[in-house]
A = this chain, B = another copy of it.
Amino acid sequence: MKKKYVIAVDLGGTKIACALTDLEGNIINENTIPTNAQEGEQEVLKRMFLVIEKVLEDSKKNSDEIKAIGIGSPGPLDSDKGIILDPPNLPLKNVDIVKYIEDRFKIKTYLENDANAAAIGEYLFGAGKETRNMVYITVSTGIGAGAIIDGKIYRGATCNALELGHVTILPDGPRCNCGNFGCLEVLASGTAIAREANKNLAHGIESSLNNYKKITSYEVFKEASLGDKMSLEVVNKALGYLGIGIANAITAFDPQKVIIGGGVAMAGDMLFDKVRKVVKERCFKVLNESCEIVQASLKTKSGIIGAAAVAITESK
């Protein structure tokens, strides 16, 4: 029997999403459950099994109709060995996740860093379809990235390439969770934008953000778009740094496209106009003119379709 489906698992700190897709990345059936990370390793593994079984059952498919399982997970991990090493938001430490899943379901399983998975998803089924070289960058709570080089995901020597959230943008900048100072993530992530706005409010700076109980980057972008001066300043500063990070990635990788995803990219024109302006100012003309900077097209499905794309490409 020709195997025409894959299972995709998007493992996150708060929820586990699972889907059965065809080999073109179309979702046939999907389900999401809470990760219950605080309950520890065994519980998280149990819940992964549960959601995969549920999706198989609801799709009325047997294991032998499934070509492969793809897992997108926060790093650090070793995709060659199929081991999740020690992600900050998951109680999984040196867990042979691929072996666990393969033993249970008898389906060939592949593990990939979540940003790399989303990059592969955009390359196969999204905004990167016509490229051979592209950089994907996701800007949300944190900042992650992945690169497709000559049609293949680029992992680097230790599977940690493209940690673009942790390149230094401002040598004397604020301290990042990673220990370094002035990382892109501490300057331009959604968390950074909300932190700056909250700091300004605490200093008594006048702003329409005072009307909100809780402020995330979403509210800051919203008020900026309505003309709130403080919100605009915070957003512009962060996007200026994001633009530098992306300009530096273009200068290093000379890609055909930079694809920006993640919650913060939903800000749309306000983000893309500023980033493109900074790239134009800071990159060689030939690089700026040849590289398109576009929004990710898989949007909220980038995690799950990315995991499906990992299963599809790796099992070819």
Contact = CB atoms under 8 A, between A and B. Distances in A.
Interface of A: 76, 132-133, 149, 154-164, 166-171, 178, 180-181, 240-241, 244, 247-249, 251-256, 281-284, 286-287, 290-291
Main secondary structure of the interface of A (DSSP, over half): loop
Given A149-B149, A168-B248, A248-B167, A255 B156 contact: yes
Closest 10 CB pairs of A and B: A156-B254, A161-B254, A167-B248, A157-B256, A180-B282, A158-B290, A160-B254, A163-B251, A167-B251, A168-B244
- Please state the number of chain copies in the assembly: 2
A281 B168 CA distance: 11
A162 B291 contact: no
Given A167-B248, A248-B168, A254 B155 contact: yes
Contacts of A156: 133, 253-255
Contacts of A283: 166, 180
Nearest to A149: B149
Contacts of A155: 254
14 contacts: A132-B157, A133-B157, A149-B154, A155-B254, A157-B255, A157-B290, A161-B253, A162-B252, A163-B254, A164-B252, A166-B284, A168-B169, A168-B244, A168-B282
